[in-house]
Structures are given as C-alpha cells and as structure tokens.
Chains A and B, each alone.
Chain A
Amino acid sequence: MGMTLTEKILAAHAGKERVEPGELVNCRVDLVLGNDITAPVAIEEFSKIGVKEVFDRDRVVLVPDHFVPNKDIKSAEQAKVLRDFARAQNLTYRFDVGTMGIEHCLLPEAGLVGPGDLVVGADSHTCTYGALGAFSTGVGSTDLAAAMATGEVWFKVPQTSKFTYHGKLQPWVSGKDLILYTIGEIGVDGALYQSMEFSGEAIARLSMDSRFTMANMAIEAGAKNGIFPVDEITESYIAHRLKRSYKVYRPDPDATYAAEYDFNVEEIEPQVAFPHLPENTKGISEAAGVVIDQVVIGSCTNGRLEDLRVAASILKGRKVHPEVRLIVIPGTQQIYLDALKEGIIEVLIQAGAAVSTPTCGPCLGGHMGILAKGERALATTNRNFVGRMGHPESEVYLAGPAIAAASSVLGRIASPVELGLKEVSTVA
C-alpha cells in the first residue's frame, strides 16, 4: 500500500521505510520556530532540560512579531527574553524590527523552508509552509523547548484526507475563498488530527501566495498540517531563495485517504465567515450588506504581495468610506518594499488607508486596531472567535483581500462587482 505526502515526509524524518496512520514516531526536525509570545515560555522550559546550547543554531529561528514593535512594557520584557536568548545562543538567522516580518510570511521569503522539510513552530499557523510541500505543524512552548534542545519531536502519524479542486476560479476568488469554503463544508473540526492534502487542476494554477493562504488555515479545520504537491510554481518561488538542498516527495497513486473531497471551484464565489467561527461561511451574494467599522488587510494569512495588489487594484482612484478605518499591514519588510516600488502603498494611502510596519498586531487583538464593544471588523485574518480582535462583544468577519477592499470603500460587506469591477487575476 502506498503512502500520502505527509506519511512520506514523516517516514523519511523518522528514518523508516514507511509509517502508518496512528503510529507514534520520533522525527528529526529541519527547523524550529518561536515568537515573542511562545518563545519566552519555551526558553524557561529549555533552561530546565540540562543542555546549554540549542541543537543547531542554523535551525532555530525566533521571530518577535506578535506584540512587536513592543506594544507595552510587559510585551517589551517578553520580547527581550527572546532577543537575549537569540543573542546568547548566537542564532544564525535573527530578525527584528526593521528586518523582520510576520513569521509565516518571513520564513519562506527568507529561504528557510523548502519542499520535504519537517518544521515545527510554537505558533498554530506554522502549517503555512505546507504550501511549499513541507510537513509543518504548530506545537506549544514545551514542545518547542524540547525540539530546541534535541532537534527531535514525537508525532502520531495522522490520517490524510484529500481535497481536490476542479475547474477555473471565478472572478475575485483567491486561495482564501477556497479554504473558507472548504472549512464551511467540513467544519472547524472537519480534519481534526488529520493531514489535509490539496490537489487538482485549480490548485495547479493557483499562485504561491494563494497556496500559503490555504495551507495557513488548515489549522482552522483542526488539521495537523495542510500540504501541496511541488510543481513549477513552487520551484520558481524557491529558486532564488532557498538556502538548503531539498527533496521533493509525491503521494503514491495507491495511498490510503481517510476521506476524499472534490470541489468544483466554478461554483465557489468569494466567501465571508461570520462570527464567531471560521466555519460560518456564506457566499458574498448572501453576505453583503453588513455595516462595518474597520477593515484589516494583513496577517500571516493574507499579508502578501498578491493580497496588497488585489486591494490596490480595487482602491485605486477610490476613497475608503468615511465611517471605516482601513488598516493595511504588509507581512514583511520585503513585501512592504515591493509594494512601495509597485506604487501599491501610494494607492492605498491616497485611498485613506493606514499602512503599518509588519506585525501580527490586530489579528489576535494585540495592538494596532483593537475593536470597541459592539464594533464590527472585516478582516483578511484567520480567526473570528469571540474577543479575537478586541472587546468580547465585538465581531470579526473573515474574507479575502478583494472583499475587504471593496467593503472598505462601501462601508458594508460588499463585492468589487458592486463597484463596477469585473476581473482580477490571482493566477501565477
């Protein structure tokens, strides 16, 4: 019997010929990641293990991005713990204000993750790197501590479900809409403990940025990881970035899947997830009209160049609604610079957007756009849980950048079609 993509990568990193779902394996990791919220707890636990140095200073990356630039004194103290540790351990890759970005936008861009890698990060959206054909998954601080010390992590081999997307994308539909639609179909625990393997001709045409968005939200279906096959689009993305050699794995034709889902993307319109779960999705035709106070375009889900391009294509020559605050947060310094060179930033500022330095900021209710009681935001982020972006009685609606930009102009949840706009291309 064949193996799925995830089973092959886990087997290779466990030094085994093959693995079976349910089996417990000890795996070598290629990269471990922490941030300013999770790393301080991990660093304290690391100090109890009895080793002085991390297992490999090239393979431990700590990114201060959640409450950085430091939002208050306590956050500054936490970030300092991370900074001091990174300096003391002489970590090879160090990122900070001015060179950093949101971790899951940054690591692929910096060439630190490649196909076939096994990555763990103390951040649930570590699953983002599955877009590159890597096995990557979120863990907690204690797992991070043990991985920093030993370079190994134990896993229960997950069952894999296969998600195949057929057809040609509708106008204004991007990876965000496909993954929101999928979560709406299977629920927030629809892939609990499982690997989500994405495939199909619609995926083959999907840009790298849209693939990152889809892999990023695998956790919102409860999955351990989301993973894409490696193709020319992947190869072209890593060509001038990746710092290490890599290995491409492919699923066997006779691999066993727990479930197989087939979607015709021609039937999928832009999606909006209503409060307070990412599974509460509706097509834009059923979602339009909700009045909003704030729009956030950014995060590890949708803070990449493609997202900013789509937003600018809609906001060009238009103004943000006077009752709406539009906050745009490029995912990394490089994305910010690229957007600046393309004229995107100017378009956004002319429209009335506030553009910020990279940070997770408002996505998790940290800073840079917290909601008051009763306020509503539409965001390109990943979670709309109770209190996620501020007051427990505020609301978050999730969508892709096209809906976000159009809504910021109209002051209510809306499609770019309402602005007389017809088409945007998000294919590579």
Chain B
Amino acid sequence: MKLTGRVWKFGDNIDTDVIIPARYLNSADPANLAAHCLEDADPDFPSKVQAGDIIVAGKNFGCGSSREHAPLALKAAGVACVIAPTFARIFYRNAINIGLPILECPEAARTIQEGDKISVDLETGTITHTATGSTWQAKPFPSFMQELIGAGGLIAYTRKKVTGHA
C-alpha cells in the first residue's frame, strides 16, 4: 500500500498526554478524540489536519501513558502514517495492534520539513520526497509483526487463532 500526503512536523518526546489529553479520556468515541488530537502542542492542529496527512516527529514519539486513545485519536483525525527515529514501546505496540502505520527512520525524520509532500510504500518501507525525489529506507518490521499487520491487527489475528476462522 502506498500513501501520499502532506507533512506536519513535531519535535522529540511527543507524549500521549499531548497527543490526547486525559481530560478527554472520559470517552473513547473516535470523533471526540479526533477533535482534540495534539491540541496541547498546536491548538489549531485538529482543524488543520486533513485525511491522508503524515506526521514526521522526533525521537521517542508516543512516550508516557499506555492509552490506546493516542493512536486512535491520530487515526480518527485522518493521520495516515507517523514517521519518527524511535517510538515509545507501548505506543509502538498499540499502533500496530489498531492498524496505524508507523515507520522508524531517523534520516527521513531529520530531513523532511513541515508542509513537504512525501509518499510512503508500507510494504517496502521506502519513503520518497515528492519535490526532490530523495528516498529513505525505514527499518523493516520483523516477520511476526508483518503477519499481525497482514491479518488486520491483533484482534483479527487472535480471532483466527482461537476460533480457527477470520
């Protein structure tokens, strides 16, 4: 699957409280989460972000709480993919489990700027800068995780395992 989108840039250590503040965690409704996604980092983000946009951030993206509401908020806000040098481990698992594409690529995260247009090939992990044609290669997922992603996430994978059918 190939995604093309406009980039929003964020810094290091974007924590899950900033992605979706706890004051909105009294509901897991995707529309509610999307309406407040990243508002403490940029109050206008929920109104600016458009379906298919891509976030490029600094290291340790998604650190802090285990709230799955964080990747759910990003997905519901229309974010198609997140690229960062590293992800906090619970966020990493949550994103894979709910089907929010994430890619670890320090070089791309360093070079790509806000407003740039990039495309991402999720099968190969290749990231391409539309204007310059520069490409970067993200770290590939281990085969088990590819299997999880291919099955449609952890719930679909587990359903198949316990019931024998998808």
User: Which chain A residues lie closer than 8 Å to B67 at the CB level?
Assistant: 37-38, 140
B155: which A residues are within 8 A, CB to CB?
45, 48-49, 142, 145-146
Q: Is the CB of A386 within 8 A of B17?
A: yes
Known A-B contacts A50-B159, A387-B17; the reply to A141 vs B26 at CB < 8 A is no
A121 to B15 CA separation, bound complex (whole angstroms):
19
A24 with B13: CB separation less than 8 A: no
Contacts of A228 in B (CB 8 A): none
Is there a chain B Cβ closer than 8 Å to A328's Cβ?
no
Which of A67-75, A108-116, A311-319, A419-427 forms contacts with chain B? Answer: A67-75
How many residues of chain B have a CB within 8 Å of chain A?
43
Interface status of B5 (Cβ within 8 A of chain A): no
User: Which among B44-52, B74-82, B85-93, B126-134 touches the partner chain?
Assistant: B85-93
Count the A-B residue pairs with Cβ separation under 8 angstroms: how many? Answer: 142
B65 / chain A contacts, CB cutoff of 8 Å? 123-124, 364, 383
How far is it, in angstroms, between the C-alpha of A123 and the C-alpha of B25 when the chains are bound? 13
Q: Give the distance in Å from the alpha carbon of A189 to the alpha carbon of B25 in the complex.
A: 25
- Partner among B23, B27, B89 whose Cβ is within 8 Å of the Cβ of A78: B27
A387 to B88, CA, bound (A): 19
> Contact: A122 with B66, CB < 8 Å?
yes
Q: How far is the CA of A41 from the CA of B70 in the complex (A)?
A: 12
Write the A364-380 contact mask toward B (1 if CB under 8 angstroms, else 0): 11100000000000000
Chain B residues with Cβ below 8 Å from A71 are 26
Partner of B89, one of A121, A122, A224, A385: A224
Determine if B138 is an interface residue (Cβ-Cβ < 8 Å).
no
Instruction: Kindly state whether residue A150 has any CB partner on chain B within 8 Å.
Output: yes
> Given A49-B155, A67-B26, A222-B88, 17 other A-B contacts at CB below 8 A?
A72-B26, A124-B66, A138-B66, A139-B90, A140-B66, A141-B94, A142-B68, A142-B97, A142-B154, A154-B144, A189-B13, A364-B22, A365-B22, A366-B22, A366-B23, A383-B17, A385-B64
Interface residues of B (CB under 8 A from A): 13, 15, 17-18, 21-23, 25-28, 39-41, 59-60, 63-69, 71-72, 86, 88-90, 93-94, 97-98, 142, 144, 153-155, 158-159, 161-163
A-B contact pairs, 5 of them (CB 8 A): A51-B162, A143-B154, A189-B59, A192-B60, A222-B89
